[in-house]
Amino acid sequence: MALDEHWFTEVFEPSGSAFSLRITAKLHQEQTPYQRIEIYQTTEFGYLMVIDGCTMVSSRDNFLYHEMMSHPVLFTHAKPQQVLIIGGGDCGTLLEVLRHPQVQHCTQVDIDERVTRLSEKYFPELCASNSDPRAELRFDDGVKWLQDANPGSYDIIIVDSTDPVGPAEGLFNEVFFRTCHRALRDGGILVQQSESPLIHVELIKSMHHAMRNAGFSNTHSYDFPQPIYPSGWWSATLAGKGRDLKRFRESESRHKSFTTKYYSYAKHLALIDGVPLLNTALK
């Protein structure tokens, strides 16, 4: 059937696929200096934020992405105290990071303050920790922020960006990864969203290659479901600075002090092994 004006549709050209949500209203739209942001009311997925035509966050399914961008890397690090988030303006990743009591400070650097202001209005549940004394929200260029950072400033860098086009294009190459490597302490870990294991195998391979060239000793990709992103199957890629990514704080993961809807100790064991089809492609 054809979808009429009561639907928001994102077409993903490389996979010849599209995902649509039924909407009752467009609640907001604006062109910021960086991108075009829209907010929709959907019938079953709550609010939907769209950036440059791509679905970014829905009320209903964002827990999958935010949990899987934070807890795996946090539990993999031996002692995660200083955390940097590049992008992540909706603040959902920040929220999950701050559930970890070891974290002393988490700086979120998103280039576009409007993403955060709109998230505060439409996704207040994701912004519930924005006033945590450990949280620092900066609106700046993430690449420049990292270039200016003192070497060894962070234990963890989480790159929670849009797709590798537009404002986030500079976040998927060796130069950027080298800057991350320099800003991490020994034993530090970078994690970056890395698109769909079904569609973006070549991108994931090139990320591993660039991360190794940039000095990271260990790299590993893992998968998770993410309904509103192209194919509904997503991945993140870890890069360790002298940190074995197959180790994690097992006991603390198993007995974590907070609840999750998707991440678990058992899911962590599985993500260490990865996805057979990606592992084969990365050999």
Q: Indicate which residues carry an active-site annotation.
A: 160
Q: Is 43 in the site for a second copy (CB under 8 A)?
A: yes
Q: Is 251 in the site for a second copy (CB under 8 A)?
A: no
Nearest distance in Å: CB 24, a second copy: 9
Nearest distance in Å: CB 232, a second copy: 2
| Radius of gyration for the chain, computed over Cα atoms and rounded to the nearest angstrom | 18
Among the listed ranges 10-18, 89-97, 107-115, 159-167, the one in contact with a second copy (CB under 8 A) is 10-18
Q: Is 59 in the site for a second copy (CB under 8 A)?
A: no
Q: Rounded CA gap, 124 and 58, in Å?
A: 12
Which residues within the stretch 18-37 sit at the binding site for a second copy (CB under 8 A)? 18-22
Q: Is 4 in the site for a second copy (CB under 8 A)?
A: yes
- Write the burial class of residue 170 (CB in 10 Å: 0-12 exposed, 13-18 middle, 19+ buried): middle
List 42, 192, 194, 219, residue binding a second copy (CB under 8 A)? 42
Nearest distance in Å: CB 28, a second copy: 19
Q: Rounded CA gap, 97 and 83, in Å?
A: 8
List, as own/partner pairs, every contact residues 127-135 make where C-beta atoms lie below 8 angstroms and the sequence separation is at least 24, other chains included: 127/91, 127/95, 128/95, 129/91, 129/94, 129/95, 129/98, 130/91, 130/94, 132/98, 134/98, 134/103, 134/104, 134/105, 134/106, 135/94, 135/98, 135/106, 135/108
Binding mask 180-209 toward a second copy (x if CB under 8 A, else -) reads ------------------x-----------
**Is residue 171 within 8 Å of 193, Cβ to Cβ?**
no
Q: Taking the chain, what is the end-to-end CA distance rounded to the nearest angstrom?
A: 42
Among the listed ranges 100-108, 134-142, 168-176, 256-264, the one in contact with a second copy (CB under 8 A) is 256-264
Q: Is 125 in the site for a second copy (CB under 8 A)?
A: no
Q: Is 9 in the site for a second copy (CB under 8 A)?
A: yes
| DSSP designation for 263 | -
List 152, 215, 232, 242, residue binding a second copy (CB under 8 A)? 232
Q: Is 41 in the site for a second copy (CB under 8 A)?
A: no
The residues of the shown chain that bind a second copy, judged by CB under 8 A, are 1-4, 7, 9, 11, 14-22, 42-45, 60-61, 64, 198, 223, 225-227, 231-233, 259-267, 269-270, 272-273, 275-277, 280
